[in-house]
Amino acid sequence: MSVNKNISKRIKDVKLNALLEITKAINNNFSTDQLLKIFEEVLANQLNIGRLVLFSHDGDWKCILKYGVAEEYNAIDVERDLLSIKEIGTINFSKKNLNKSFEIVIPVYHKSQPLAFVLIGDLEDRVEVSPAIKHLPFVQTLTSIIVVAIENKKLAKDNIRQAAMKKELELASEMQAMLFPTALPVNDKLEAAAFYLPHQQVGGDYYDFIWLNEYECAFCVADVSGKGVAAALLMSNFQATLRVLIQHTNSLTRLIKELNNKVMANAKGEKFITFFIAKYNIKTRQLSFVNAAHNPPLLVSKRGSVELLSTGCTGLGMFDDIEKIEEGHIQIAPDTTIICYTDGLVELENEKNEEYGTDALQKFVLLKTNLSPHSLNKAIVDEVIDFKQSKSYVDDIALFTIKLY
């Protein structure tokens, strides 16, 4: 009797010490491998549980610990064989040889989400109650502690990774903001204003205004296919190239060809850029432009007519060489407004999945020709927000408006 008491006390001590050791290891931030090594030591060497396989979910199901088994565990399909098991119990495999290896399955769940499955069995057939059955409550407790600790480590790593990504995105957002002009002209010759709303923290839309000399200026709007950091990086490179090239060529056709070559070299045909570029001479009132497959800007006259600035060519980066480029030339009348925008504005949908559309934009701006560029941009944004109601944004939105007095 005293022998049994001694054995029972020893087992209790083993279990208590195991819990203390695991708790200490978790508090000291031991690695996953170290935690699993303690788990194996307790179950295999101290409680004499002969076989174990531990499956954990990390994107997909993986075996993160096994001992006392040959390669038969590879035949276990977690989704087929284990996923329906919600409570601890015995298991019957479709492959009969597996039934000889494992007696018990212990599922570990967080709410309704399965985190892990532990299969245990003994190395040899026994007449008495096997250790796997005898120590089942403790094994279940220890398993839950280990699995939760491992999950917490995963979450901690994810949080660190997400924090790093957030910091990178914040930096990218700050750098992208530097692409846009810090101030736009407001004088008796012309007045410009812009609005930009990225779908994510960074985006692939771009607008710019550049003085070329005392009488000439250039303005543009562009949109990279795709979203996010990759689009923003391509656009930042594009902006730098544009600002260098435009100071060294008087030809919009030559400029477009050079920009196309640069986009092809950088994007390798995987992305393209739609682009509208215009030059305006405040002395001659001559406007020259090329539209490279971009949404046609609206040219709105004082008397209430609308012209779409669509003359141009294919998008940049679509083909190795753009063979045909047409330039548009317009004599600008006083009080003409030009509204440039990206497709995120007109393709915005409402709760009925209806697009706002270019026609609606034309009709709206014709009612607002007396507004300044800043006020017109605000009115347009308010209009599309009212149109979309609770529907979320699906793309970046850039809006650049210039009034030529």
In contact, 38 and 21? CB cutoff 8 Å: yes
DSSP state of 316: B
Span 131-157, pLDDT tens digits = 555 677 888 888 888 888 888 888 877
Token pair recorded at residue 108: 């570990």
Q: How confident is residue 22, by pLDDT bands cut at 50, 70 and 90? A: confident
| DSSP reduced 3-state for 85 | coil
Span 245-272, pLDDT tens digits = 999 888 999 999 999 999 999 888 788 9
Tokens 């701006």: give the residue.
365
Q: Would the pLDDT of 298 be above 90? A: yes
**DSSP-derived secondary structure for 166-217:** HHHHHHHHHHHHTTS-S---BSSSEEEEEEEE-SSSS-SEEEEEEE-SSSEE
Token pair recorded at residue 123: 């190395």
Euclidean distance between CA atoms 244 and 175, whole angstroms:
18
Percent of the chain with pLDDT strictly greater than 90: 44
pLDDT of residue 11: 72
Measured between alpha carbons, how far is residue 240 from residues 214, 245, 290, 371 in Å? 22, 9, 19, 32
pLDDT of residue 365: 94
| DSSP reduced 3-state for 312 | strand
**Which homologous superfamily does the CATH classification assign to the domain defined by 171-404?**
PPM-type phosphatase domain (3.60.40.10)
Span 218-232, pLDDT tens digits = 999 999 887 667 777
Measured between alpha carbons, how far is residue 386 from residues 22, 338, 351, 383 in Å? 57, 23, 11, 5
Mean of pLDDT values over 290-319 = 95
Span 102-130, pLDDT tens digits = 878 889 888 888 899 999 887 444 444 45
0.85 exceeded by pTM: no
Residues of the chain with CATH 3.60.40.10: 171-404
2-156: which CATH topology? Beta-Lactamase (3.30.450)
Token pair recorded at residue 267: 């994007």
Euclidean distance between CA atoms 128 and 51, whole angstroms:
17
pLDDT of residue 186: 94
Span 160-213, pLDDT tens digits = 777 766 776 666 666 666 778 888 999 999 999 999 887 666 667 889 999 999
Helix 228-245 × helix 252-267 angle, to 10°: 150
Going edge to edge, which strands form the sheet with 306-308?
190-197, 397-404, 336-341, 298-300, 306-308
Q: How confident is residue 359, by pLDDT bands cut at 50, 70 and 90? A: very high
Span 278-293, pLDDT tens digits = 999 999 999 999 999 9
User: Which phi and psi angles does 87 have, rounded to 5°?
Assistant: -125, 155
Of 378, 196, 222, 195, which is closest to residue 292 (Cα–Cα)?
222
pLDDT of residue 123: 43
Token pair recorded at residue 356: 């706002």
Q: Specify the higher pLDDT residue, 144 or 159.
A: 144
In contact, 71 and 99? CB cutoff 8 Å: no
125-159 burial, b at 16+ Cβ within 10 Å, e below that, comes to: eeeeebbbbebbebbbebbbbbbebbbebeeeeee
Percent of the chain with pLDDT strictly greater than 70: 88
pLDDT of residue 168: 62
Mean of pLDDT values over 66-81 = 84
Of 330, 340, 338, 325, which is closest to residue 251 (Cα–Cα)?
325
Mean pLDDT value across the chain = 86
CA dihedral defined by 221, 227, 229, 231, rounded to 10 degrees? -50
DSSP state of 88: S
Report, in angstroms and rounded to the nearest whole number, the Rg of the chain calculated over CA atoms: 34
